[in-house]
Amino acid sequence: MQPVTRPDPAPSRWSYRLQRLMLTPLFTRALRFGLPLGVIAALGLGYFADEARRDAVTDTLAELRRDFETRPEFMVELLSVEGASARVEEDIREIFPFDLPASSFDLDLEHVREMIEGLPAVASASLRVRRGGILAAEITEREPVALWRTRDGLGAVDLEGVVVDDMLARQDRADLPLVVGEGADRAVPEALEIIRAATPIEPRLRGLVRMGERRWDVVLDRDQRIMLPERNPVRALERVLALDEVQDMLARDLVAVDMRLAARPTIRMNARAVEDWWRVTKMTVGAE
């Protein structure tokens, strides 16, 4: 009687390895998610391998995007300029680079803001799209504080020396003080301090002249000048005004008061005063 041979219940080597692999979490997730994704990617690549299909999908997506961007709630119908004078508003509308109505997605607001702030009369600008399809531009203009005369003409400048507007005549802004000369635009704050200090003689003040781009001359009527030093010009002017208050110095026949050397101020008389002085001197000498 032969013994009964039973099959070995142990799995084969490859079956054992497969079972161990199926128990690995990483392999299980890859099989569960990676395989479907791979199939979908393969089908997608096969579908988009045809150029006509690619173009059709691209055109469809572009049309959907255009339909979304041109919805009424995203359309800008008009430009509103706030805080600007009529002339500045006209300049802004002239340089506005887009035709309205237009989609808000097509408007480069940062570029528009930079263009507006590039105008000489504009200090800052902000833009935002409001309800109702309105693009609001809020403008802060530069405030002119003086008139600056150069060889090229006359212009209104702000506190930073930026030319805000060109002027044809002094009378166009008679309310603003006048500064003259090269470099005067870079010293506007100092010029305003001198002008404020010159309040006691304001009716006689004609303007300030920048000399050598480093100091000021105060120009008065009757062709008189107060020549101020490079340093502490306001203090030097106050000394002159103090002398004038005590002795009416500026009411005399003077051409200039030279304060460039603080320790040795000099007075220059006009030709008529010099002649009178010499005549009086000769008479005094003759009498002796």
How would CATH label the architecture of 72-141?
Answer: Roll (3.10)
**Quick one: pLDDT at residue 50?**
72
pTM for this structure? 0.67
- The residue type of 160 is E
In this structure, which topology does domain 146-282 adopt according to CATH?
Rossmann fold (3.40.50)
Name the residue with higher pLDDT: 273 or 122.
122
**Quick one: pLDDT at residue 252?**
82
Count of CB atoms within 10 A of residue 179's CB?
28
DSSP secondary structure, the chain, as one string: -PPPPPPP-SPPHHHHHHHHHHT-HHHHHIIIIIHHHHHHHHHHHHHHTSHHHHHHHHHHHHHHHHHHHTSGGGEE-EEEEES--HHHHHHHHHH--SPSSEEGGG--HHHHHHHHHTSTTEEEEEEEEETTTEEEEEEEE----EEEEETTEEEEE-TT--EEEEES-GGGGTTS-EEESTTGGGGHHHHHHHHHHTGGGGGGEEEEEEETTTEEEEEESTT-EEE--SS-HHHHHHHHHHHHHHH-GGGSSEEEEE-SSTTS-EEEE-HHHHHHHHHHHHHHHHH-
What is the pairing mode between strands 225-227 and 215-220?
A: antiparallel
pLDDT category, 230, cuts 50, 70, 90? very high
Model confidence at 61: pLDDT above 90: no
pLDDT category, 284, cuts 50, 70, 90? low
Lowest-confidence range among 105-114, 131-140, 189-198, 277-286?
277-286
Structural tokens at position 254: 């003077």
Model confidence at 72: pLDDT above 80: no
Task: Tell me the per-residue pLDDT of 13-29, one tens digit each, with 9 for 90 and over.
Answer: 777 676 776 667 777 77
Give the mean model confidence (pLDDT) for residues 219-234. 93
pLDDT category, 73, cuts 50, 70, 90? confident
Which percentage of the chain shows pLDDT scores above 90? 43
Q: Tell me if 158 sits within 8 A of 143, measured CB to CB.
A: yes
**Quick one: pLDDT at residue 270?**
67
Mean pLDDT of the chain, nearest integer: 83
Task: Tell me the per-residue pLDDT of 137-181, one tens digit each, with 9 for 90 and over.
Answer: 999 999 999 999 998 899 999 999 999 988 888 898 999 999 999
pLDDT category, 64, cuts 50, 70, 90? confident
Per domain, the residue ranges of the chain are 72-141, 146-282
> In Å, how far from its chain's centre is CA 119?
9
- The residue type of 161 is G
